Structure 1
Amino acid sequence: MYYYVYMPSISARVPDDDEAEIDAVSELLDEDKSTVIRKALSEGLSSIRRRIAIERYQSGEVSVNEAARIADVSLAEWLEIAREHNLTTQLTPEDLDSDAAAAREL
């Protein structure tokens, strides 16, 4: 049985170079252009969320727990990202208490 999944439609203008790249990737993956665009959008948004989380964590603007939330990953995944990027920050005792409480809930 086939179920239709509603997805909203978005229209966007792209430069010729991007259209050519979409076509090339579509051929590589043997998938239609709409599927390639959805995958690229999903991967791009995930990358942007992680970049913002890294920048805000490094600047001391957010705690470990908040950075994980921004990046939309688990606390364990965030700790791995932070390790991979050699991230350091100056955390307040309140931040450490909050992060420790969040870790205990896992």
Structure 2
Amino acid sequence: MGTISARVPDELEDELETYLEDENIDRSTAVRKLLSERLEEWRHERALEQLADGTITFSRAAEVAELSVWDFAQLASERDVTWVADDHVDDDLEAL
């Protein structure tokens, strides 16, 4: 496991301390949890953007998001992302 060190503004550190108390966890666990959650959100957003731009297929977007195609379909629906395009339908059906 790698180590990450970062300087943060005092306000952010104060908020982290509040988070630690509320969640009753140690600093390392909190930072790992927050980083992991944010990276998961970033993967989802990145996949949705690429799908909406038409640069990747639906099935590839699900892979980028690290979700099953069914879970990714739900996410795309919740975010109102249109993913059916004539030029990708065959690729998506073939991948399923």
Q: Under a length normalisation based on structure 1, what TM-score does the superposition of the two structures give?
A: 0.82
Q: What letter matches 1:102 in structure 2?
A: A
Between Structure 1 and Structure 2, how many residues are aligned?
96
Runs of 4+ in 1 over 3 A off after TM superposition: none
Q: Which has the higher helix share?
A: 2
Q: Deviations over 1:32-56 (max 9, x none)?
A: 1111000000000001111111111
Q: How far apart are the structure 2 equivalents of 1:39 and 1:17?
A: 19
- 2:72 is aligned with 1:78: yes
The answer to whether the 8 Å contact 1:58/1:88 transfers is yes
Q: Shift of residue 91 of structure 1?
A: 2.2
Larger radius of gyration: 1
- 2:82 is aligned with 1:99: no
Q: Under a length normalisation based on structure 2, what TM-score does the superposition of the two structures give?
A: 0.90
Specify which of 15, 25, 33 is matched with residue 31 of structure 1: 25
Q: Shift of residue 90 of structure 1?
A: 5.8
- 2:61 is aligned with 1:67: yes
Q: Note the aligned Cα RMSD (angstroms).
A: 1.4
Any gaps of 5 or more consecutive residues in structure 1? 1-6
